[in-house]
Amino acid sequence: MGDNQEFEIELVHQTQITCAGKFRLTSGDDDPRRCVLTLECPLGEFQANDWNYFDALCQIREELEPKGWRPRCYGACEDVYPSNMCRDMGRGMVAYRNEIGRPAEQEHLVETFATSSEIRPASVDQQRAFFQRWLRSPR
């Protein structure tokens, strides 16, 4: 699931300049259970591999952030985070769009690499902090 797919993506700079890129999802050569994520864009080629694509995306985002760039996809939204089941069974291809005080339900699932003009990408740290606030909130 999720292997050998490509997703066109827009990268947004902190100055609001944008450029186009492409995420390529493949399996690891040595271990087909590994998720290999490659970003090809004018900034260069970035690659990460992990046990799920969401965590691989976070690795690439952490490389882009010091340069001022963020991908415009749901997986980079502050309020989007996968459950352990999404990571394990779905390989991080979907995640929940969380809201403080609201339990995560199936209708809140979004595709990690889907994009929309409404998306305001956040840093990996902002995303993790929001998830911790959501976990502590009464639901």
Tokens read off for 122: 């956040």
Give me the pLDDT at residue 3, please.
65
Q: If you ran DSSP here, which 8-state letter would residue 102 be given? A: B
What mean pLDDT comes out for the span 45-66?
Answer: 98
pTM for the structure as a whole: 0.95
Give me the pLDDT at residue 27, please.
93
Give me the pLDDT at residue 139, please.
84
Q: DSSP H helical segments within the chain, as ranges? A: 53-64, 84-88, 124-136
Give me the pLDDT at residue 2, please.
46
pLDDT, tens digit, for every residue of 13-55?
999 999 999 999 999 999 999 999 999 999 999 999 999 999 9
